[in-house]
Amino acid sequence: MAKFTKIKVCQTMADAGMVPVFYHSDAEVAKQVLMACYEGGVRVFEFTNRGDFAHETFGTLNQWAQKACPEMIVGIGSVVDAGTASLYLQLGANFVVSPLLNPDIAKVCNRRGVPHIPGCGTLSEIGYAQELGADMVKAFPGDVLGAAFVKSAKAPMPWSNIMVTGGVAPTQENLTQWFNAGVTCVGMGSNLFTKEIIAAKDWNKITEMCKNVLDIIKKLK
Task: State the average pLDDT over residues 11-39.
Answer: 98
Per-residue pLDDT at 103:
98
Task: State the average pLDDT over residues 120-147.
Answer: 97
Using one digit for the tens of pLDDT, what is the confidence trace for 72-90? 999 999 999 999 999 999 9
> Three-class SS string for the chain?
CCCCCHHHHHHHHHHHCEEEEECCCCHHHHHHHHHHHHHCCCCEEEEECCCCCHHHHHHHHHHHHHHHCCCCEEEEECCCCHHHHHHHHHCCCCCEECCCCCHHHHHHHHHHCCCEECEECCHHHHHHHHHCCCCCEEECCHHHHCHHHHHHHHCCCCCCCEEEECCCCCCHHHHHHHHHHCCCEEEECCCCCCHHHHHHCCHHHHHHHHHHHHHHHHHHC
Q: Which long-range contacts (CB under 8 A, 24 or more apart) does 112-115 make?
A: 112/1, 112/2, 113/2, 113/5, 113/6, 114/2, 114/6, 114/9, 114/89, 115/6, 115/9, 115/10, 115/75
The pairing of strands 44-48 and 73-77 is parallel
Per-residue pLDDT at 5:
98
Per-residue pLDDT at 59:
98
For residues 10 and 114, give the distance between their C-alpha atoms in angstroms, rounded to a whole number: 10
Using one digit for the tens of pLDDT, what is the confidence trace for 141-151? 999 999 999 99
Angle at 137 (CA atoms; ends 211, 153), nearest 5 degrees: 100
Task: State the average pLDDT over residues 98-107.
Answer: 98
For residues 131 and 153, give the distance between their C-alpha atoms in angstroms, rounded to a whole number: 16
Per-residue pLDDT at 148:
97
Per-residue pLDDT at 15:
97
Per-residue pLDDT at 14:
98
Using one digit for the tens of pLDDT, what is the confidence trace for 154-210? 999 999 999 999 999 999 999 999 999 999 999 999 999 999 999 999 999 999 999
Using one digit for the tens of pLDDT, what is the confidence trace for 40-65? 999 999 999 999 999 999 999 999 99
The answer to whether the beta carbons of residues 205 and 196 sit under 8 Å apart is no
Task: State the average pLDDT over residues 133-148.
Answer: 97
Per-residue pLDDT at 63:
98
Does a cis peptide bond (omega within 30 degrees of 0) precede residue 141?
Answer: yes
The answer to whether the beta carbons of residues 132 and 115 sit under 8 Å apart is no
For residues 182 and 200, give the distance between their C-alpha atoms in angstroms, rounded to a whole number: 35
